[in-house]
Amino acid sequence: MSLTSAQILDLAPDAPSRKAGQDQAKPAKWSALGRSGEMIWGEIKGSGASPYRTVADLAGPASKCTCPSRKFPCKHALGLMLVDAAARLPEAEPPDWAAAWAKTRETRATAAETRAREPAKPVDEKAQAKRRQAREERVAAALDELDLWLRDLMRRGLAGVRSEPYAFFDRMAGRLVDGQAPGLARRVRALPGFAAAAPPAGAPRPEEALALGIGRLALLVGAMRRLDCLTPEQAAAVRAAVGYPVTAEEMAARPDAADAWAVLAHAVEDEDKLTARTVWLAGRGSGALAQVVDYGAPGSPLPPVPAAGQDFSGALAFQPGEPPLRAILREGRAAPSPAGPLAGATTVAAALDGFADVLARAPWTERWPVRLAGIRFGHLAGSTPERPLLGLGDETGSLVLRADPRLPALLAVAAGERVDVFGLYDGFGLNVLALVAQGCLYAVPAQDSQPILMRAA
């Protein structure tokens, strides 16, 4: 197993960590470097009297360092992995501290498997039912308040709504959080952004975007009040959009979806004082798409996941919902990704039909992942030197590209040739997250707005 420098930097928790990790990627700064299988280690001088001891498992990837940093991986772990990526470290017998870390990881993994096989503890069904009923009542009250608020907005007209300060929307969102409907609160907080006066290329006009956001909220309110008319999977999708969590018991009952899952891209966003990391995967055999999301406090460690450009050989479990997309990783291991086309890629027309089908089943959907095969980048009709309109397309149709500082790098990699593309489509434009050119995957980095990453060979 080997990771490219770009894949390693994509593991950094933030942009400053990426730069600091590159500063530590000088072999002269390190001592006692070595490797045993997929585990690497080394010592580096820090601010203390003793050097910091750093160890990493490239198969995780996972790492540990004795430095006081609260970021994971820290700059020393990134630097160590970058040193190995530049020139493979020599095989050696691991020192006691590195071997102890590996043993601890193995023990924890064994204990987790044991706990998973143990019978579940008895559940106090009466207390559970009481908590469930209390939440249902709070959510119902929040829905009533949101419905009234939306009706007031429409009576006043969109022009009046656009003049409201952010605090106006934040107050309503806060009441929805108190009513245990965080999914609705997030959508309300997004409304002021829709009303921005100067939309970038590929974005809807402010009045269109605002009406669309309000309409989606109204649809969700209506769907929540008619759950008994929906199938179990449809009802689960509505509840998830409102903000109901999926319990561990529900996920344990979900079937495995085993495949060789190509890791297409990572994305990191801030959501309500939390860091949300999304990993996008595509099944090489099934062609299915999966979205794995983990949350953590800024700078805190998130569960290790395969890097963009690797494969996850193992099983996922999809959360209940229609159409299925959100998933969790189950048993499996990261592996090198073979060269080849983008798994499950289709024509532009087929992708648009698929997006229309998603909206028919879940009309509150904001963005949906699409995979396109054999497309070219270029300027669309109506483009001018003052306002260039970039897009991509094939013989069946075209899509507008949303404004993004990474577009020049993507265009340079494509070099005017046909490529496969993965991105998120919202009905107005496409945000490109990765492309495949000559069998190699290039993924947009999770946080840095400039570089573009190449898949491991």
Is residue 262 over pLDDT 60?
Answer: yes
Query: What pLDDT, on a 0 to 100 scale, did the predictor assign at position 203?
Result: 66
Query: Exposed, middle or buried by CB within 10 Å (0-12, 13-18, 19+), for 241?
Result: buried
Is residue 226 over pLDDT 90?
Answer: yes
Query: What pLDDT, on a 0 to 100 scale, did the predictor assign at position 209?
Result: 85
Name the strands in the sheet holding 430-437, side by side, starting at the edge strand that comes first in the sequence: 397-400, 390-394, 368-379, 419-425, 430-437, 440-443, 453-454
Query: What pLDDT, on a 0 to 100 scale, did the predictor assign at position 52?
Result: 96
Is residue 329 over pLDDT 80?
Answer: yes
**Structure confidence at residue 456 as a pLDDT band (50, 70, 90):** very low
**Structure confidence at residue 457 as a pLDDT band (50, 70, 90):** very low
Report the b/e string of 263-290 with b at 16+ CB within 10 A: bbbbbbeeeeeebebbbbbbbbeeebbb
Is residue 35 over pLDDT 80?
Answer: yes
Query: What pLDDT, on a 0 to 100 scale, did the predictor assign at position 120?
Result: 59
The 8-class DSSP code of residue 55 comes to E
pLDDT per residue as tens digits for the range 96-151: 999 999 999 988 878 777 766 666 567 677 888 898 899 999 999 999 999 999 99
3-state secondary structure 256-305: CEEEEEEEEEEEEEEECCEEEEEEEEEECCCCCEEEEEEEECCCCCCCCC
pLDDT per residue as tens digits for the range 245-254: 998 888 989 9
Query: What pLDDT, on a 0 to 100 scale, did the predictor assign at position 254?
Result: 94
Query: Exposed, middle or buried by CB within 10 Å (0-12, 13-18, 19+), for 163?
Result: exposed
Better-predicted residue by pLDDT, 174 or 385: 174
Whose tokens are 């999708």? That residue is 237
Enumerate residues 6+ apart whose C-beta is below 8 A from 254. 317, 318, 319, 320
**Structure confidence at residue 76 as a pLDDT band (50, 70, 90):** very high
Pick the range with the lowest mean pLDDT from 180-194, 271-285, 356-370, 417-431: 271-285
Domain map (residue ranges) of the chain: 5-117, 125-242, 255-336, 348-454
Query: What pLDDT, on a 0 to 100 scale, did the predictor assign at position 369?
Result: 98
CA-closest candidate to residue 236, choices 249, 248, 223: 223
Q: Is the dihedral of CA 341, 347, 352, 355 positive or negative?
A: negative
pLDDT per residue as tens digits for the range 192-205: 988 765 566 566 77
